[in-house]
């Protein structure tokens, strides 16, 4: 269970005390504030705070004094123009602060995104919980035969059972030794900062993660993509839903011009033009590598 009854009570108490403010607020994201959305087996994501809304992007772009809104259509049109033409700084005026609980191996991928502010739970100071990510049977996949950085079909039968058993028993044995090493019951007790090195990468950690909307979109573009590992993608997919409720115009523009868009090289554009003119473009006459041509064909569906 991701939250204890005490933690849930703290969240309920926070949500029970709304405060008036002159700042921009968005009902869509207010509805999510503080609530934990469960992810994987013990993880969650929850919104702690946010700054700005769709009109804050337009305000910044227009450097206006008031709300800056000429009309809702104007705002949406401007946001789409900004996104389409990579005018990124107005999107940096919006910020999102999340509390995320995630397995350490997912955190290692996540932390590569350097343009956020992070504060992680200290395993030097505190004792980690006995919580490990154990994949659901359909996520317990075999190595992909075509992609070294991917997975294929789910493991089956005896192999699946054996792998699952090892994942569970290895995690429990490591944690038992961790707990014994730090115990001060009749012994000195190893420092927490050292004992943690015995723990596997599927143990859960937590952090506060604050990022501006431009860099959040960059993160989501990479991590909500089908090439991203499933375990980080479930977090990215959930954050996409939160962002859609927070800044709906910006999110729609992101979906249209980033998430669902493709980037074509000069050679690809040339080939597309030739195809539209009726020419048969092949791997031999496309002036692209075999792989790039395959990607080009995939883009065209
Ligand atoms: C599917 C997938 C597979 C991956 N595989 C691997 C792998 O095998 N090995 C591996 O090491 N990584 C891997 N990565 C991580 C990847 O290479 C990036 O490190 C990660 O996605 C963060 O991207 P970023 O640097 O663009 O993001 P951020 O760090 O958030 O930066 C955002 C942007 O800010 C700018 N920026 C930030 N910091 C700097 C800086 N110091 N100097 C210049 N510009 C900066 C860049 O324009 C950057 O694109 C993988 C990522 C994905 C999505």
For 28-68, write each residue's pLDDT tens digit. Answer: 999 999 999 999 999 999 999 999 999 999 999 998 776 65
The β-bridge partners of 45 are 37, 100
CATH of domain 5-133+203-259: 3.30.1360.170
Residue nearest atom 15 of ligand 1, based on CA coordinates: 112
Atom of ligand 1 nearest to the CA of 227: 1
The structure's pTM equals 0.94
- Which residue has its alpha carbon closest to ligand 1 atom 6? 109
Residues in the ligand 1 pocket, defined by CB under 6 Å: 112-115, 215, 218, 222, 227-228
Atom 42 (ligand 1) nearest CA: 114
Structure-derived torsion over alpha carbons of residues 7, 13, 19, 24, reported in degrees to the nearest 10: 40
Mean pLDDT of the chain: 93
For the chain, the structural domain boundaries read: 5-133+203-259, 139-201, 266-299
| Interval between CA 20 and ligand 1 midpoint (Å) | 39
In this structure, what token pair is assigned to residue 148?
Answer: 């070294």
Mean pLDDT of 98-125: 96
Residue to mutate (ligand 1; options 105, 108, 114; most atoms within 8 A of CB):
114
pLDDT band at 286 (very low <50, low <70, confident <90, very high): very high
Catalytic residue among 223, 233, 273, 291: 223
């Amino acid at each position: 269970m991701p939250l204890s009854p005490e933690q849930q009570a703290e969240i309920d108490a926070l949500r029970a005390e709304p405060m008036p403010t002159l700042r921009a607020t968005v009902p869509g994201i207010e509805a999510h504030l503080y609530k934990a959305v469960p992810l994987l087996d013990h993880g969650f994501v929850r919104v702690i705070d946010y700054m700005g809304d769709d009109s804050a992007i337009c305000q910044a772009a227009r450097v206006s004094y008031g709300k800056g809104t000429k009309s809702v259509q104007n705002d949406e049109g401007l946001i789409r123009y900004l996104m389409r033409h990579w005018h990124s700084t107005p999107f940096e005026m919006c910020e999102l602060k999340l509390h995320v609980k995630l397995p350490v191996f997912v955190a290692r991928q996540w932390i590569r995104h350097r343009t956020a502010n992070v504060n992680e739970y200290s395993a030097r100071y505190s004792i980690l919980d006995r919580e490990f990510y154990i994949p659901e049977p359909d996520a317990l996949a075999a190595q992909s035969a075509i992609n070294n950085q991917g997975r294929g079909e789910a493991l089956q039968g005896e192999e699946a059972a054996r792998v699952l058993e090892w994942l569970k028993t290895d995690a429990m044995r490591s944690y038992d030794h961790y707990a014994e090493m730090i115990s001060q019951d009749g012994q000195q007790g190893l420092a927490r900062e050292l004992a943690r090195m015995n723990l596997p990468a599927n143990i859960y950690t937590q952090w506060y993660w604050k990022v501006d909307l431009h860099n959040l979109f960059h993160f989501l573009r990479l991590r909500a993509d089908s090439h991203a590992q499933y375990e980080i993608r479930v977090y990215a997919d959930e954050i996409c839903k939160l962002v859609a409720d927070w800044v709906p115009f910006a999110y729609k523009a992101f979906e249209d011009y980033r998430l669902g868009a493709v980037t074509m090289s000069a050679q690809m554009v040339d080939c597309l033009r030739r195809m539209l003119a009726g020419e048969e473009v092949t791997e031999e006459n496309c002036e692209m590598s075999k792989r790039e041509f395959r990607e080009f064909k995939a883009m065209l569906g």
